[in-house]
Structures are given as C-alpha cells and as structure tokens.
Amino acid sequence: MSRYRLLPTPAQEAVLRGHCAHARYVWNLAVEQHSHWRPGRAGAPGFLQTVQQQALRDFARAMAAFFDPRNPAGRPSWRKAGRDEGFRIVGRRGRQWDVRRLSRKTGEVWVPKAGWVRFRWSRTVPPGVRSYRVSMDRAGRWHVAFAAIPDPIPAPGNGEAVGIDRGVVVGAALSTGELLHVPGLTAPERNRLRRLERKLARAKRGSNRRGRVRLAIARLRARETDRRKDWAEKTSTGLARRFDIIKVEGLQIRNMTRSARGTRQNPGRNVRAKAGLNRQILRSGWGLLARRLEEKAIGRIEKISPAFTSQRCSACGHVDPKSRESQAVFRCTACGYACHADVNAARNIAAGHAVTARGGDGVTRPMNREPHLLASLTGRE
C-alpha cells in the first residue's frame, strides 16, 4: 500500500465524510446481523451505492476469512465514528475510478460523487493498482492508499540463506550478525509525548484544550507509524535482494499474543507483563516486515519451528535455558560460545528446517476495516 496525503476541499470533505458514514453504517449493520450470515451469502441489495456495496462485499470477505480455519483473521467487529473512518473503491482504473498527475507535487484521484480530489504526489503511484482506500485518521487528516501487489523481487541466485529472529531488545537480528533497529520516536519526541499524555490526563473532558492535546498526540503516533512502515518496506526489499532463502520462526506472534490472556479454566500467568510484551511485538513492525517479505520474496520464505531457538547453542547444539545469560547475552554452558542472544537465535533459525507454513504473519487482531486487498489478490485469503 502506498499512502498519500489527500487534500479535499471543504465541499469534498463533506462528501468523503458521508461515504465514511455509509460504509460504517453498512458494516455495523452487517456486524449486527452476522449471526444470520453464512459464507457465500454476500448479496448486496440493488439500491446500494458503490461505497456501501463495497463495504458489504468487504464485510462478507472478512467473515469468510474469519470462518476459514487456515486463516488467523479475527471476527469482524464494530467500527466507531471518528476512529475507524474509511471506505474503499474497487474497480478498473479509467472506468470506476482514475488517477492523474497535475504537477510535480500534486495528483488527483477521482472519487465517486466528490469528483477529482487532490493529493500530495509524494512518490510514484505504482502500476497495477486495483483499488484504493480513503481514510481519515484520528488527527483529522485524510489519506488515500493505492493497493497494488509489490513487484516480486527475483532471487539473487547466490544460494545464500538467512535466519531472522524477531528480537525483544532490537527489532530483528540476522544470522549474519547484523542487528536491525526499528525506528521509533526520537528521545525529544518521546519526552514531548509523555508531557502531552500528562497534560491530557489533567485536561477537562470536552474542552478545547483537550482536543488540541489529543490532536498533537495523534500526530506524534502517526509519525512513529510512518517511520515503522517505511522501515519495513526498505528492510524487506533489502533482504529479498540479498538472500535466496529467508527463514523466520513460524507462529511466534500468534503464540505469544494467545498466551497472554489464557482461558477461564487456565488463566494466563504474568498476564500484564506478557500483554506489555505483546504490545511491544505488535508495535515493533515485525508483523508488517514478515508480510512484506512474503509478498516480495514469493516462495522463498521458510517458517522454522520456534522450539528452543533461544536456548540452543548455535555452535555446538547444546540446549540449556541457563545459556541465556540475559536478554541480550547468550553464553553456552557446554562449550562457552558467547554471542548476542538474538543473533544466536537467528543462527538456529537459519539452520532450522521448515515446518508446515501458515498464512500471513499469524497475527490475530479484531477486524474493523476492509481485509487487506493484497491477501485477496494473491489468493491467500
């Protein structure tokens, strides 16, 4: 998805808000009636408009994904006004919609009922676009995202394999010894965020001040997300170009997010600590990186069983939890081999054998927006 800042006129903004409201209404209506819904019954009544029809089709797809045992998608959930605003237009470019460039920095996308809406041409609109999504974030900014399948990157043909360990200390570690750091906010930005959060806690509900503070917080968070996305794009492209085979741990994110809550019979232990860790993992950009790798290095990703990758010595094979000296240091209790703990795990992953693959990054989250179009285009839905 390449995302561009959309710049609607006030009149167009009113139309876009209307589309969002319609899409949300239809979606929520479908959520409410989901008990009657069965796979294959996607029927959209004839009087519905493009936006509503698409929302309903998307809901049907989200439900189908939810029922699909191979797919870890969450149950479609409610959309809230002001928070999950967006709609999708699908169809052939030049027929149902179109995009054109006005000047070096400005482009226009044709939106039903709103006409040509300007956007910042911050990079080339990729070829092969089949749909776009218009969304409004919590800071009130509009974006348009064009969905295209990223071009698969050909294997370099050097026979090299790499193991990647999703780190807790760093973003990811490679079996080559490289450590990948996910960019976040800078120290001054983090301080500012903390100050704003304290301010928010003190601000009176419904006051103008509170609104301004919330907006500033939303902007900082959006900046962090943008950086992480950018990192995932660049890193996945780099890895797909350098290595023939890319090995990652299978199912790890899902297992960890699952373990936090536990069940009623077996309540999870350390729920709060684990929930914190889970948040960190989901926020680390790892899920996005894994997804992009699968799209760019098609058929070259191997999922390795995560058992003992952090406790096994990559030099002699000895397995001992005590070898994991600390979060960052691995020191083998048998042979004395010492190494960055995440790099040691990445080396075990590089040496591992593939387990049965599961779709996507294995992350389960509640779905309150259109399922990723890429999934349907690549047939992994």
Please state, in angstroms and rounded to a whole number, the distance separating the CA atoms of residues 23 and 51: 6
Residue 316 within binding range of Zn ion, rule CB under 5 A: yes
Cα–Cα distances (Å) from 273 to 13, 71, 200, 280, in that order, read: 43, 27, 25, 11
What's the rounded Cα separation, in Å, for the pair 252 and 278?
11
Regarding 337 and contact with Zn ion (CB under 5 A), the answer is yes
The answer to whether 230 is a known catalytic residue is no
Catalytic annotation on 85? no
Q: By CB under 5 A, is residue 174 in contact with Zn ion?
A: no
Q: Which residues contact 123 (CB under 8 A, 6 or more apart)?
A: 2, 4
Q: Supply the minimum distance, in Å, between the C-beta of residue 332 and Zn ion.
A: 3
Among 221, 223, 318, 380, binds Zn ion (CB under 5 A): 318
Judged by DSSP in three states, 248 sits in strand
84 is catalytic: no
Considering the complex, state which of residue 29 and residue 328 has its C-beta at the smaller distance from Zn ion: 328
Write down the catalytic residue from 84, 85, 165, 294: 165
Distance CA 194, CA 188 (A): 10
Is 86 or 352 the residue whose CB approaches Zn ion more closely? 352
Out of 73, 174, 281, 332, the only residue in the binding site for Zn ion (CB under 5 A) is 332
Report residue 359 CA to chain centroid gap: 14
116 touches Zn ion by CB under 5 A = no
Asked if residue 339 binds Zn ion (CB under 5 A), the reply is no
Q: Single out the catalytic residue among 84, 249, 294, 302.
A: 249
Q: Which residues of 285-309 are buried (b: 16+ CB within 10 A; e: fewer)?
A: bbbbbbbbbbbbbbebbbbbebeeb
Q: How far apart are CA 267 and CA 364, in angstroms?
A: 19
Residue nearer to Zn ion on the CB measure, 60 or 313: 313
Between 117 and 332, CB nearer to Zn ion: 332
Nearer to Zn ion, 211 or 336 (CB): 336
Can residue 65 be called a binding residue for Zn ion (CB under 5 A)?
no
Q: Is 329 in the site for Zn ion (CB under 5 A)?
A: no
Partners of 246 in beta bridges? 162, 301
Query: If binding means CB under 5 A, how many residues of this protein chain bind Zn ion?
Result: 8
Write out the catalytic residue numbers: 165, 249, 342
List contacts with Zn ion (CB under 5 A). 313, 315-316, 318, 332, 334-335, 337
